Chains A and B, each alone.
Chain A
Amino acid sequence: MSLAVEAFVSQIAAAEPWPENATLYQPLREDQILLSDCASSLAVQAYLRMCNLPVHVSCRSNAEYMSPSGKVPFVHVGNQVVSELGPIVQFTKAKGHSLSDGLDDVQRAEMKAYMELVNNMLLTAELYIQWCDDTTATEISRPRYSSPYSWPLNQILAYQKQWEVRRKMNAIGWAGKSLEQVYEDVSQCCQALSQRLGTQPYFFNKQPTELDALVFGHLFTILTTRLTSDELGEKIKSYSNLLAFCRRIEQSYFEDSQAGSSSRGYSKGPSLF
C-alpha cells in the first residue's frame, strides 16, 4: 500500500517546481546535534547545493520528532515532507533534478553499492562510537542529545535513545565488536573509498553525484568534530586524496555562504584549511 502512496506522491511532486521557501530541519547546531545526524544533514545540504536547489536550514530541538521517519534531516518542500538522503534524491528526481542521469547501469549499480558501504560502515561506526562506547556516551552524546530538556526528561530521553541504538547494534552483530575493531572497519572503508576515488575529482569522474555528497557529509563531519579521541579523524587524514576531495567540495559548493555555516561541529574547531 505504501508503495502506491509513494508513487502517487511522486507524481504530485513532479507537478510543481522547486519553491523558494524549501526548508531543511535539523537539531540545534551548537548544542544538540550529534556526529551522525550532523553528517547526514551535511550530506543532504551538499546534495541540494550540487543540484542548485535553494534550501533554508532551520534548527529545531524537536526535529527528530517532526520527521516522518524519525530520522533527521528532513526537508519541507511545498506541502510535502521528505526525510533522509535516499527519499530526498528520489523526490528531487521526480521534480526533474538528478545528478546521476548520465551514468549507465553498471555505474549506477556501483554508485548504489558504495552508498550502502558508507551507510553500512561509516554511519554504523559513528552510531557505535557515540552510543556504545561508554566514555563518549557519558561525556558527549547523552548531555548533548538531551540538552534542550529539563530534568527528569533529559535523563529519560537520553537513556531511551541509547537503549534503542544498542538494541540495533545487537541485532546487526556489532555489539560484540571492540572499539579497536570499529576503528579498523572505518579504516578499511576509507581505504576502499580512497582506492575507488583514485586521482579523479569526483567518484564518477567529472560530475558529482549523490555518492560524493554522502561521502563528503560523513568525512567532513568526522574531520571537523572533536570527540574524546582523535583516532577517527586520524584514520581519514592518512588518505590524502580523500582530504583533497573534501576540500574541493567545500570550496566549490560551500564557499559562497557565510564563513560560519560550513565549518560546523561542536568543537568550534577549524575548517579544513
Chain B
Amino acid sequence: MAATMELRCWGGDWGLPSVHTESLIVLAYVKFSGANITVTPIDWTWKTLTGTVPELVCQGSTITEPAQILNFLRKQRFNADYELSARQGADTMAYIALLEEKLRPALLHTFWVDAENYANLTRPWFASRSPFPLNFLVPGRHANTALSRILLTKGESPLHTITEVEGKIYSEAKECLNLLSHRLGTAYYFFGNTPCSLDAFVFGFVAPLHKASLPSSPLQSHLRQLDNLQRFCDHILNAHFSSHPGETRSPQPVQEMVDANLQKLTQLVNKESNLIEKMDDNLRSSPQHKPLRADPRPSLGNDKSSTPA
C-alpha cells in the first residue's frame, strides 16, 4: 500500500502544475484521490525526447497513458469514483469520449499548428525546457505528431490540407465547450460535491486553454464567455493546487469577498443602531431621569413613546 510511486511529467507554468494536458489529468486525479506520489518533472532531461509522458513508475513497472494510470491507481485503492452510480460511471466514459473526439483536435491545433501561437508561445516554452540540443527537436516532433493526428482523424480523404479542416474542428470544439458548460451548470463539480475522474479530464483539457496567454485564439475567447467552466478550473486550482505560486486568483472571488464584506458591515451597522435605540429607551425610561417631553426628537425609526416610571 505504501509503495512509493513516481510520476514523470512536464513541468508547470502559467499558474498550472503542468502545461501538458495528459500530465495535468493525472496530477488532478492524484490530488482528488489522495494518492501519495512524488512528481518528477522531465524538464531539462533527455526524457523529453525519449520518454512518453506522463509515466507512472511503481516498483519497477511503468504505466503510460492517463486512462491506464487511472485504472492502476484505482486498483491500488486510490479511487475518486467510489461514490458514483453505475449510470454516472457510464456518463463519465461518454463525456471523456466527447472530449477526445471534439475538443482535442482543436486544442492540438491551437497550441501546435496555429503559426502564431506555436512561434510565440508553445515552441519557446518547450524549447526552453529541453536540454541542448534537444530544444531543436522536441517541439518540432510534437508539432508534426499533432498535425498528422488532426489530418488523419478529421481530414476527409480528398482534402488533405489543414485549412479546410480548421473551420470544422473549431466549430466542433466550441460546441463541445458549450455542451460541457450546460452539463456543469452552477455546480462546482460534474457529479455532486466531490471531484471525480471526469473532473480531472475536463480540468486537464480546459485549464491550459484557460490559463495560457495565447496571442491568437478564437477558442480561448469562446471559453471566456463560459463563466462556469472558468470558475470550475479556478476552483480546482485554488482548492487542490493552492501551494503552487503564481496567479491563481481570478477577479471573481475577490468581488464575492467584497460583497460579503459589505453585507457583514451592513449587518453590523444595523445591530449597532438597534443597540443604541435600546440604550436610548432604557435611558428614557429610567427613574432617575425625568423624560424630556417637549421635543419630539426623531429617534432612530422608533415609535415607542417612553413611559415615565
A69 interfacial contact with B, CB 8 Å:
yes
Question: A105-B182, A116-B101, A195-B86 given as contacts; is B168 within 8 A of A189 (CB)?
Answer: no
- By the criterion CB–CB under 8 Å, are A192 and B93 in contact? yes
CB B72 to nearest CB in A, in angstroms, measures 14
Kindly name the residue among B90, B148, B152, B168 whose own CB sees the greatest number of chain A CB atoms within 10 A.
B90
- By the criterion CB–CB under 8 Å, are B91 and A171 in contact? no
A121 interfacial contact with B, CB 8 Å:
yes
* Distance between Cα atoms of A105 and B153 in the complex (Å): 27
B264 interfacial contact with A, CB 8 Å:
no
Of the candidates A105, A189, A196, the one whose C-beta lies within 8 Å of that of B87 is A196
Stretch of A34-42, A106-114, A131-139, A263-271 lying at the B interface: A106-114
* Distance between Cα atoms of A117 and B100 in the complex (Å): 10
B180 interfacial contact with A, CB 8 Å:
yes
- By the criterion CB–CB under 8 Å, are A192 and B90 in contact? yes
- By the criterion CB–CB under 8 Å, are B94 and A116 in contact? yes
Of the candidates B101, B145, B179, B183, the one whose C-beta lies within 8 Å of that of A119 is B101
Question: A2-B167, A168-B152 given as contacts; is B182 within 8 A of A109 (CB)?
Answer: yes
- By the criterion CB–CB under 8 Å, are B90 and A193 in contact? yes
Question: A2-B164, A2-B167, A120-B100 given as contacts; is B94 within 8 A of A110 (CB)?
Answer: yes
Interface set, chain B 100-116, CB cutoff 8 A to A = 100-102
Of the candidates A1, A2, A116, A192, the one whose C-beta lies within 8 Å of that of B102 is A116
CB A116 to nearest CB in B, in angstroms, measures 4
Cross-chain pair count, CB within 8 angstroms? 81
Question: A3-B167, A108-B179 given as contacts; is B148 within 8 A of A70 (CB)?
Answer: no
* Distance between Cα atoms of A242 and B219 in the complex (Å): 38
Question: A109-B183, A112-B98, A195-B87 given as contacts; is B158 within 8 A of A117 (CB)?
Answer: no
Number of interface residues of A (CB under 8 A): 32
* Distance between Cα atoms of A195 and B88 in the complex (Å): 9
Question: A188-B93, A192-B90 given as contacts; is B153 within 8 A of A113 (CB)?
Answer: no
- By the criterion CB–CB under 8 Å, are B101 and A198 in contact? no
Question: A112-B98, A116-B101 given as contacts; is B152 within 8 A of A167 (CB)?
Answer: yes
- By the criterion CB–CB under 8 Å, are A121 and B97 in contact? yes
Interface set, chain A 55-87, CB cutoff 8 A to B = 69-71
- By the criterion CB–CB under 8 Å, are A70 and B156 in contact? yes
Of the candidates B65, B101, B183, the one whose C-beta lies within 8 Å of that of A173 is B65
- By the criterion CB–CB under 8 Å, are A1 and B167 in contact? yes
B140 interfacial contact with A, CB 8 Å:
no
* Distance between Cα atoms of A106 and B158 in the complex (Å): 36
Contacts of A113 on B, CB cut-off 8 Å?
Answer: 91, 94-95, 97-98, 179
CB B15 to nearest CB in A, in angstroms, measures 28
B171 interfacial contact with A, CB 8 Å:
yes
Contacts of A10 on B, CB cut-off 8 Å?
Answer: none
Instruction: Return the chain B residue nearest A181 by Cβ.
Output: B68
- By the criterion CB–CB under 8 Å, are B93 and A117 in contact? yes
B240 interfacial contact with A, CB 8 Å:
no
Main secondary structure of the interface of A (DSSP, over half): helix
Which bucket holds chain B's interface residue count? 20 to 34
* Distance between Cα atoms of A117 and B92 in the complex (Å): 10
Instruction: Return the chain B residue nearest A3 by Cβ.
Output: B167
Contacts of B222 on A, CB cut-off 8 Å?
Answer: none
CB B248 to nearest CB in A, in angstroms, measures 28
Contacts of A2 on B, CB cut-off 8 Å?
Answer: 164, 167-168
Question: A105-B182, A112-B98, A113-B94 given as contacts; is B157 within 8 A of A70 (CB)?
Answer: yes
Contacts of A70 on B, CB cut-off 8 Å?
Answer: 156-158
Kindly name the residue among A109, A113, A168 whose own CB sees the greatest number of chain B CB atoms within 10 A.
A113
* Distance between Cα atoms of A105 and B179 in the complex (Å): 8
- By the criterion CB–CB under 8 Å, are B101 and A110 in contact? no
* Distance between Cα atoms of A174 and B280 in the complex (Å): 81
Question: A168-B152, A195-B89 given as contacts; is B164 within 8 A of A116 (CB)?
Answer: no
Residues 232-269 of A, flagged 1 when their CB comes within 8 A of B and 0 if not, give 00000000000000000000000000000000000000
Instruction: Return the chain A residue nearest B149 by Cβ.
Output: A171
CB B288 to nearest CB in A, in angstroms, measures 70
- By the criterion CB–CB under 8 Å, are B153 and A116 in contact? no
Kindly name the residue among B93, B100, B171, B180 whose own CB sees the greatest number of chain A CB atoms within 10 A.
B93
A15 interfacial contact with B, CB 8 Å:
no
A153 interfacial contact with B, CB 8 Å:
no
Contacts of A167 on B, CB cut-off 8 Å?
Answer: 152
- By the criterion CB–CB under 8 Å, are B94 and A117 in contact? yes
Q: Which residues of A contact B (CB under 8 A)?
A: 1-3, 69-71, 105-106, 108-110, 112-114, 116-117, 119-121, 167-168, 171-173, 188-189, 191-193, 195-196, 198
Q: Which residues of B contact A (CB under 8 A)?
A: 65, 86-87, 89-91, 93-95, 97-98, 100-102, 145, 148-149, 152-153, 156-158, 164, 167-168, 171, 175, 179-180, 182-183, 185
Pick 14 A–B contacts, CB within 8 A, sort by A. Answer: A2-B167, A3-B171, A70-B156, A106-B183, A110-B91, A110-B183, A116-B94, A117-B93, A119-B101, A120-B100, A121-B97, A168-B152, A196-B87, A196-B94
- Besides A110-B91, A112-B98, A196-B91, 6 other CB < 8 A contacts? A2-B167, A105-B182, A109-B183, A171-B148, A173-B65, A189-B93
